C-alpha cells in the first residue's frame, strides 16, 4: 500500500487517505483494530489511529474535547492531527502495564486538569457542539451556574426520562432518583467552581502508556463537578485507584464528606448506561439513589 499526502482525499474516504491528508505523510500500511478503529503506519515510522464516528457532530465533539484537555497541560491525551465529517486521526498510544507511580502521577495531573476550569457547568470545549455525546448516547451541553440544578436538569433527569420511556426503569421506581434531584442542594456538599472534566472517565478510557504516563481518550468533555470524574473512576474500576486519589489530594484536597457523595455523582453514568444497555444498570442507579437518600 502507498497513499501519498496531498492525494485527492475527501470526506468519506478511507482511513489511509485521511491519515495521509492530516499528517502530511505517506502511508505504508494499515491494520483494522475494530469496526471503528484502524491503525495506520506512516513513512516516518509513526503510527496513528483513525476512528470512524457516526456523524460530524460526534467527530467534532471528540476532537474539541481532546484539544481542550490537552490545553490544560495536565494529563496527556493523544495528539489530534485532524478530522473530517466522519474520521478522526490521532496518535497511537503504546500500551504498558498499570503501576502505582504512574497512578500517583495521573492523580496529580487529573487534579490540575480539573483546576484548569470551565466557563460554566455544561460548557462545551471551544469549538465543540452543544449537541454532544457521552459514548454513543446524546449529551446536551447546556450551561448553568448552579451545579445542583444544572446536574439534575441536564445530566440526571433527561436520562431518567429516557430510561422510563424505554422500560429500563419502571415508572414507580423513578421517584427515588427524582427525590435525589430535589434534595441535591443539601446532598451536593460545598459549592465548587466548574471543573474541566473528561466526562466519561471509566477505566477503558484511561490508557496506561509504556512510557509510564497515562493518556485519556474518548472524552465527553464539559464543565462540571470534579467529583463526577472521580466517581466514574470508582464505578467502573481503575487500577491503583487508591494511588490515583493519593496523588489527586496532594494537589487539590477534596471537600469533606466526598465519599458520601459518590453515589450522587454516579447517577449520571449509571442512567446513561441504563439507556444504552438496560435493566441491570437501571437497578444500580436506583440503588445509588436510595443510598444517597439514606445518607
**Cβ count near 172 (within 10 Å):** 8
Q: Which residues are catalytic, by number? A: 200
CATH of domain 15-91: 3.30.200.20
**Cβ count near 105 (within 10 Å):** 19
- Residue 268 sits at φ, ψ, to 5 deg, of -60, -60
Angle, helix 241-251 to helix 100-115, in steps of 10 degrees: 40
- Residue 232 sits at φ, ψ, to 5 deg, of -70, -35
Task: Write out pLDDT tens, residues 235-267.
Answer: 988 999 999 999 999 999 999 999 999 999 999
Task: Write out pLDDT tens, residues 4-38.
Answer: 454 434 555 799 999 999 999 999 999 999 889 99
Domain ranges of the chain: 15-91, 100-294
Alpha carbon distance 53, 137 (integer Å): 12
CATH of domain 100-294: 3.90.1200.10
Radius of gyration of the CA atoms of the chain, in A: 20
Alpha carbon distance 266, 292 (integer Å): 10
Higher per-residue confidence, 216 vs 294: 216
Rounded to an integer, the average pLDDT of 100-111 is 98
Q: Is the pLDDT of residue 2 over 50?
A: no
Task: Write out pLDDT tens, residues 107-145.
Answer: 999 999 999 999 999 999 999 999 999 999 999 999 999
Alpha carbon distance 232, 226 (integer Å): 11
Rounded to an integer, the average pLDDT of 282-292 is 96
**Cβ count near 11 (within 10 Å):** 11
Give the 3-state secondary structure of residue 159: helix
Alpha carbon distance 117, 85 (integer Å): 29
214 DSSP 8-state letter: E
Task: Write out pLDDT tens, residues 174-185.
Answer: 999 999 999 999
Q: Which position has the grid cell 439513589?
A: 289
Amino acid at each position: 500500500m502507498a497513499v501519498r499526502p496531498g492525494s485527492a482525499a475527501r470526506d468519506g474516504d478511507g482511513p489511509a487517505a485521511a491519515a495521509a491528508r492530516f499528517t502530511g505523510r505517506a502511508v505504508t500500511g494499515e491494520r483494522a483494530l475494530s469496526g471503528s478503529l484502524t491503525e495506520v503506519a506512516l513513512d516516518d515510522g509513526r503510527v496513528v489511529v483513525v476512528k470512524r464516528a457516526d456523524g460530524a457532530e460526534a467527530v467534532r465533539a471528540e476532537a474539541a474535547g481532546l484539544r481542550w484537555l490537552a490545553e490544560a497541560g495536565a494529563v496527556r491525551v493523544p495528539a489530534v492531527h485532524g478530522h473530517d465529517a466522519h474520521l478522526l486521526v490521532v496518535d497511537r498510544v503504546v500500551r504498558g502495564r498499570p503501576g502505582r507511580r504512574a497512578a500517583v502521577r495521573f492523580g496529580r495531573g487529573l487534579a490540575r486538569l480539573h483546576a484548569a476550569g470551565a466557563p460554566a457547568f455544561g460548557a462545551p470545549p471551544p469549538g465543540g457542539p452543544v449537541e454532544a455525546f457521552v459514548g454513543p448516547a446524546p449529551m446536551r451541553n447546556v450551561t448553568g451556574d448552579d451545579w445542583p440544578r444544572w446536574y439534575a436538569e441536564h445530566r440526571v433527569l433527561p436520562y431518567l426520562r429516557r430510561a422510563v420511556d424505554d422500560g429500563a426503569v419502571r415508572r414507580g421506581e423513578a421517584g427515588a432518583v427524582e427525590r435525589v434531584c430535589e434534595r441535591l442542594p443539601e446532598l451536593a456538599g460545598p459549592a465548587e467552581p466548574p471543573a474541566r472534566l473528561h466526562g466519561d472517565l471509566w477505566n477503558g478510557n484511561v490508557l496506561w502508556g509504556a512510557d509510564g504516563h497515562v493518556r485519556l481518550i474518548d472524552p465527553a468533555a464539559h464543565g462540571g463537578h470534579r467529583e463526577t470524574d472521580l466517581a466514574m473512576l470508582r464505578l467502573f474500576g481503575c487500577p491503583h485507584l487508591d494511588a490515583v486519589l493519593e496523588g489527586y489530594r496532594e494537589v487539590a484536597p477534596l471537600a469533606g464528606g466526598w465519599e458520601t457523595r459518590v453515589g450522587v455523582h454516579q447517577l449520571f453514568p449509571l442512567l446513561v448506561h441504563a439507556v444504552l444497555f438496560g435493566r441491570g444498570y437501571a437497578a444500580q442507579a436506583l440503588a445509588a439513589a436510595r443510598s444517597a437518600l439514606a445518607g
